Amino acid sequence: MSIPTINIDMDKKCPQCGHKGVCGNGLCMECGMKKYERKRAMKVGDKTIKTCIDIIQSMLWEKQIDMDRAYIKAEGPVSVDLKLKISPGDGVNEVEGKISFVVEKSTGEVDKIYVDENQMTLFENEKEEAAA
Ligand SMILES: [Zn+2]
């Protein structure tokens, strides 16, 4: 096993605090440790997922009446967009939720396109034949 070593370039200054002596990551020992601690705290774990679920759930309950009214009025589909943003805070995760819904106008026509991935092979063969 090799012995872990830390090389410090004493000619360079830390871009974050200005102290002399920079490690391999481009920061001084102190700033490097702070960065490591912040990164260690950054984790999407069970608590963050639970918070995400709670936020989505409460947003849906909160907008239930509005969504219900829109759904009845639409006589068609209502698209619900849910967005979550997880940001690193000071040793904690900040979870932000956003909900929006759009009533899709029913025109009586539905655009449906069926894509057969295997059919592409036929076109590729045609291309090869045309090139030959
Ligand atoms: Zn520093």
Say how many Å lie between the CA of residue 12 and the centre of ligand 1.
Answer: 11
Higher pLDDT, 76 or 54: 54
Say how many Å lie between the CA of residue 31 and the centre of ligand 1.
Answer: 4
Highest mean pLDDT among 38-47, 55-64, 89-98, 120-129 belongs to 55-64
Residue with tokens 């759930």: 57
Report whether pLDDT(3) > 60.
yes
Please write the tens of the pLDDT for every residue from 55-98. 999 999 999 999 899 888 888 888 889 999 998 877 788 999 99
Say how many Å lie between the CA of residue 87 and the centre of ligand 1.
Answer: 23
What's residue 55's pLDDT? 95
CA 82 to chain centre: 12
The domain locations on the chain are 1-41, 43-105
What's residue 130's pLDDT? 52
| Pairwise CA distance, residues 102 & 58, whole Å | 19
DSSP 122: H
Say how many Å lie between the CA of residue 29 and the centre of ligand 1.
Answer: 7
